[in-house]
Structure 1
Amino acid sequence: GTFPSTILVLQYLYGAVCPIRNIPTRENAIQSFNLVPLDPHINEERQAKINTICNVTQRFCTGTLQQYSSFNDCQQLLRTQIPYGSYDRADQGNVICRFVHTYFVPLLPSVRCPHVSPTGGACTDKTIDFYYNQTNFLACAH
């Protein structure tokens, strides 16, 4: 089948790779997969993701939650000052991380607006030590 969005693909893959509490383990769980095909390869696709970030930010991050002075300022910053990134680095300081967070901004703007901001909130570059210093760095998130 097909998925209407990349986020739904990622949610499906997460469910196929990581055990979900109170659900029996799948016999044919995926052991690995390639995220490269999910990454936009042409400028139009990249620009569409940047436009989504800027539209969501301008609509939901208002007042004290405002992140960019205008839609155009948002576009300019994301095109010229923030690395585009890829889905295998979707927790880093890049456009892809901000794009993933746009799905959550409407649900809880007070928490999520900083994640789509110029500074990135949780979308910041992390060193490899960040992951290995976690209590159980190989575990799936729940």
Structure 2
Amino acid sequence: MWDADGRIMQYDATFRWFGFLLDTLVEALATSVNGTASQATAALTQRLATTVCDTHDQYCTGENQQYDNSTACYNFLTTAIPLGKDYELGRDTLLCREVHEHMVQYDPALHCPHIGPTGGDYCVNDQTYAQKVLQKYFNESWIVGVQSTEDKWLGN
């Protein structure tokens, strides 16, 4: 959904087969490095962390800076948080930061915190399962002219 200025207000994305993609990627990486799934996961973690840190260094400058330097960024992403599971894209994981890394270039002030150590209110572990699934899902109704305070799927 876009606002009057053409900016995205909200979106609904489903990473339907992401678990299969992640498993296939790790398996292919294990084969290419002639190693185990654990070694491939470590290599994937290193590659994703490097990519997120490169994006941070390029776009998250001045007030948007989240890490003191590339080494601090890399160390945090590879040791302080897990890579994450396919269903943890909104949790305090490297995978969550990798998803948000692609948006940083478009609005660094908004998205740099998402790839930073705090997770910027997106890549966080601040809710239980029940809280997460029962929260109001959208800010605005997807149905024109329909407002609902009761249906978490409609918004408003």
* TM-score higher than 0.5: yes
1:47 to 1:127, Cα distance in 2 relative to 1, 3 A: same
**Does residue 128 of structure 1 match 2:111?**
no
SS in 1 for 2:84: coil
1:72 to 1:135, Cα distance in 2 relative to 1, 3 A: closer
Per-residue CA deviations over 1:41-69 (Å, capped at 9, x if unaligned) read 31222211111110001110000110111
Quick one: distance in 1 between partners of 2:20 and 2:56?
A: 27
Asked if the contact 2:52/2:115 (under 8 Å) is kept, the reply is yes
Q: Higher Cα Rg: structure 1 or 2?
A: 2
Quick one: distance in 2 between partners of 1:44 and 1:134?
A: 35
**Residue of structure 2 in register with 1:38 after alignment:** 21
User: 5+ residue gaps in structure 1?
Assistant: 1-12, 18-32
Q: When the two structures are superposed, what TM-score results if normalisation uses the length of structure 1?
A: 0.69
Q: How many residues align?
A: 112
**Residue of structure 2 in register with 1:99 after alignment:** 98
Q: When the two structures are superposed, what TM-score results if normalisation uses the length of structure 2?
A: 0.63
User: 5+ residue gaps in structure 2?
Assistant: 1-12, 27-39, 138-150
Please report how far the alpha carbon of residue 90 of structure 1 lies from its aligned counterpart in structure 2 after TM superposition.
0.3
**Residue of structure 1 in register with 2:113 after alignment:** 114
Quick one: distance in 1 between partners of 2:95 and 2:51?
A: 11
AA of the residue aligned to 1:124? V
- Output the aligned Cα RMSD: 2.5
SS in 2 for 1:89: coil
1:83 to 1:107, Cα distance in 2 relative to 1, 3 A: same
**Does residue 76 of structure 1 match 2:59?**
no
Per-residue CA deviations over 1:5-36 (Å, capped at 9, x if unaligned) read xxxxxxxx84xx9xxxxxxxxxxxxxxx5432
Q: Percent identity?
A: 29
**Residue of structure 2 in register with 1:22 after alignment:** none
Quick one: distance in 2 between partners of 1:124 and 1:61?
A: 19
Asked if the contact 2:55/2:101 (under 8 Å) is kept, the reply is yes
